[in-house]
Amino acid sequence: MRIIRTLAIAAAGIVVATSAAAQTAGDTRKMENTKAVIETKYGNMTIKFFPDAAPGHVQNFVKLAKEGVYDGTIFHRVIPGFMIQGGDPNTKGKDTRTYGMGGPGYTIKAEFSAKPHKRGILSMARAQHPDSAGSQFYVVVKDSPFLDRQYTVFGEVVEGIDVADKIVALPRDSRDLPNERVEMKVKIVEGAGK
């Protein structure tokens, strides 16, 4: 009787594990056909995601975008020859001292990969701890190999990199905050193809 019960429990475990793996594979396939469009007054950037390299970060970004977390936030840090950074909910407010310190109220585990930080890459900003990313992200405007395997790459600009070039060139203050607000709205397009 114990043998039959043990076999039944083992079989149930295999079915659950197989079902979870199939669901994860299905989610990854769905995310491969999902894109984001970051709308700004300087034009739009279309993002292709890398769910194979960073499934948790892709899911987190899509979730926050669908919840409207990014809408009305700004690109609060621009460094010519390097990157533009945004996604901080604090930037919806007027207190610029808090810009760059906000997030969704939780952090996600790092998903470092071999994907290089080449021009157009979308990567997650974080504090010193590798597992401290939340909502802030950046787009590199120039190859930045010194970031490789230290920050989570989860997408790439496939249309509109010239928009990032316009934003990164804006006049800025000593904290790299652009002198003008460049608000964004992020739309998710599912089933967008490759």
Average pLDDT over residues 5-21: 43
pLDDT in the model for residue 191: 81
Q: Structure pTM?
A: 0.84
Q: Is 72 left (phi over 0), alpha (psi -120 to 50) or beta?
A: left
Where do we find the tokens 């769910």?
Answer: 51
Average pLDDT over residues 41-61: 97
Among residues 134, 120, 181, 159, the alpha carbon closest in space to that of 37 is found at: 159
pLDDT in the model for residue 28: 60
CA–CA distance from 97 to each of 85, 91, 111 (Å)?
16, 10, 29
pLDDT in the model for residue 29: 63
pLDDT in the model for residue 194: 53
Among residues 103, 146, 111, 113, the alpha carbon closest in space to that of 130 is found at: 111
* Phi, psi values for residue 172, rounded to 5°: -145, 165
Which CATH number applies to 33-190?
2.40.100.10
pLDDT in the model for residue 111: 97
pLDDT in the model for residue 26: 56
Average pLDDT over residues 37-41: 98
**Which pLDDT tens digit goes with each residue over 84-115?**
999 999 999 999 999 999 999 999 999 999 99
pLDDT in the model for residue 134: 96
pLDDT at 174 over 80: yes
pLDDT in the model for residue 17: 43
Domain ranges of the chain: 1-31, 33-190
In the chain, the percentage of residues whose pLDDT exceeds 70 is 83
pLDDT in the model for residue 32: 78
pLDDT in the model for residue 23: 43
pLDDT at 167 over 90: yes
pLDDT at 74 over 70: yes
Spatial CB neighbours of 122, under 8 Å, sequence gap ≥ 6: 47, 137, 138, 139, 153, 154, 155, 156, 157
Spatial CB neighbours of 105, under 8 Å, sequence gap ≥ 6: 134
In the chain, the percentage of residues whose pLDDT exceeds 90 is 81
Average pLDDT over residues 151-174: 98
